[in-house]
């Protein structure tokens, strides 16, 4: 696969990535004003303080996904590990089945008039001089990256079919049984065969080891306090993927899994476990999904139906198993 990067796809765990001269910003310093109370020793009351500080805030960028020249989607995500994000997103959307379905990719950050003009010249929007200037003014507060993907012919046909389905919807957006089945798909073809696939319930000690490694390696979260992570262990090595969106973090891990043809026994998320994370895990044949917060009721029901092991509240030397666990 050819890979052309106009910005660095920096990653905690991407030794294969080639460093570029331009570094993608993952956080920026902003001036803030902190208000807080401090108890006074003499009277037992509290003294109010106001302090001007500099705080690091995570970058949340608009990632425009263009597939074979078709403007497909815009994701709000952290602007790194974008190849993995693209592959995982396409797989989750059902547009590709293997990483080799992606033939080529290029990432471009929109930073000046020329880059915006290149991005808009093939769009269907009105790009007259007046509207173009208005658009630039409107978008100047945003970090915008364009991910241009080239898929093989079979995958391109899937995109065309999906676009025809989307074009048939009017007014109310996701309507009727077609919209519901796309949002709540039949995952029976991904059902875990318990006789064929046997993955032991991950022990508390093993999960706490992963939790400790995540706490140590989650650098962007340590700096900003505002990103989720998806992580998996391969031997003694932790592969960690951070993003402002928990579903994006899991897509990055899935993209890495597909590209490296990795066998995964367990994925640990720093977030709650909602239904879209369960659906992505089932599609990717991930045996166990573990969160540091609770799952939803729907997530547990779907996990039980399709044989996905689910655990939550991985914290304070404890974990709670919700599905696919062994008694005793």
Q: Would you list the DSSP string of 160-181?
A: HHHHHHHHT--SSSS-HHHHHH
Tokens of 223: 């700096």
List the catalytic residues.
Answer: 172
The count of other CB atoms within 10 Å of the CB of residue 299 is 26
- DSSP letter, residue 203: P
Length of the chain counted residue by residue: 328
Q: CA-CA distances (angstroms) from residue 256 to 22, 116, 149, 209, 240?
A: 23, 30, 16, 22, 10
233, containing H or E segment:
strand 228-234
Instruction: Tell me how far apart the alpha carbons of residues 26 and 289 are, in angstroms, rounded to a whole number.
Output: 27
Instruction: Tell me how far apart the alpha carbons of residues 93 and 311 are, in angstroms, rounded to a whole number.
Output: 25
Contact between residue 162 and residue 96 where contact means Cβ atoms under 8 Å apart: no
250, containing H or E segment:
helix 246-260
Q: At what angle do helices 275-283 and 246-260 cross, to 10 degrees?
A: 10
């Amino acid at each position: 696969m050819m890979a052309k990067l106009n910005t660095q796809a920096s990653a905690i765990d991407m030794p294969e990535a080639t460093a570029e001269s331009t570094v993608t910003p993952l956080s920026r310093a902003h001036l803030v004003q902190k208000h807080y109370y401090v108890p006074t020793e003499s009277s037992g009351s509290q003294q109010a303080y106001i302090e001007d500080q500099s705080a690091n805030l995570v970058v949340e960028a608009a990632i425009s996904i263009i597939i074979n020249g078709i403007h497909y989607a815009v994701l709000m995500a952290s602007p790194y590990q974008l190849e993995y994000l693209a592959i995982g997103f396409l797989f989750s959307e059902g547009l590709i089945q293997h990483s080799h379905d992606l033939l080529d990719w290029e990432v471009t950050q929109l930073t000046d008039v020329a880059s915006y003009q290149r991005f808009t010249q093939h769009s269907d929007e009105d790009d007259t001089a007046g509207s173009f200037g208005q658009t630039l003014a409107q978008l100047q507060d945003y970090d915008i990256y364009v991910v241009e993907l080239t898929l093989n012919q079979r995958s391109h046909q899937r995109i065309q079919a999906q676009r025809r389905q989307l074009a048939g919807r009017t007014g109310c957006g996701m309507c009727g049984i077609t919209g519901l089945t796309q949002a709540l798909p039949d995952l029976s073809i991904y059902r875990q065969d318990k006789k064929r696939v046997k993955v032991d319930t991950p022990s508390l000690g093993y999960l706490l080891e992963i939790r400790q490694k995540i706490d140590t390696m989650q650098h962007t979260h340590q700096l900003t306090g505002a990103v989720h992570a998806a992580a998996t262990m391969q031997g003694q090595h932790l592969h960690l993927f951070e993003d402002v969106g928990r579903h994006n973090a899991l897509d990055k891990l899935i993209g890495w899994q597909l590209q490296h043809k990795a066998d995964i026994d367990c994925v640990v998320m720093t977030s709650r476990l909602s239904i879209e994370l369960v659906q992505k895990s089932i599609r990717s044949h991930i045996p166990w999904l573990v969160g540091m917060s609770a799952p939803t009721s729907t997530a547990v029901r779907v996990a039980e139906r399709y044989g996905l092991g689910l655990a939550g509240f991985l914290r304070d030397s404890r974990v709670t198993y919700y599905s696919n666990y062994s008694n005793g």
